[in-house]
Amino acid sequence: MLEGTYVHHHSQVSARDLLTLWLMVNARGGMKYTPENGVKLADLFPGFVDVSFLMNVWKELVDDE
């Protein structure tokens, strides 16, 4: 039944880690932390993240600065 299947290692990278790095590249260019800009950023990467999650992670980045 499992013949021909491969076991893959689980990644240690979370969706939050990926989103944090992605936001560092795409939101650092002077873009202000606003819900409107959150929607614009989420539209750049459809299907990856919802706006509320993006805004929560982005808030953490803004607070760390």
Number of structural domains the chain divides into: 1
- Domain-located, residue 8: no
User: Which residue segment(s) compose the domain that 31 sits in?
Assistant: 15-64
Mean pLDDT in the chain?
83
CB of 45 closer than 8 Å to CB of 52: no
Q: Per the domain annotation, does 56 fall within a domain?
A: yes
Measured CA distances, 22 to 4, 5, 8, 26, 57 (Å) = 35, 32, 25, 6, 11
Q: What is the pLDDT of residue 36?
A: 93
Tell me if 43 is assigned to some domain: yes
Q: Which pairs count as long-range contacts for 32-35, CB under 8 Å and 24+ apart, including other chains?
A: 33/58, 33/59, 33/62
Tell me the percentage of the chain whose pLDDT exceeds 90: 18
Average pLDDT over residues 39-43: 89
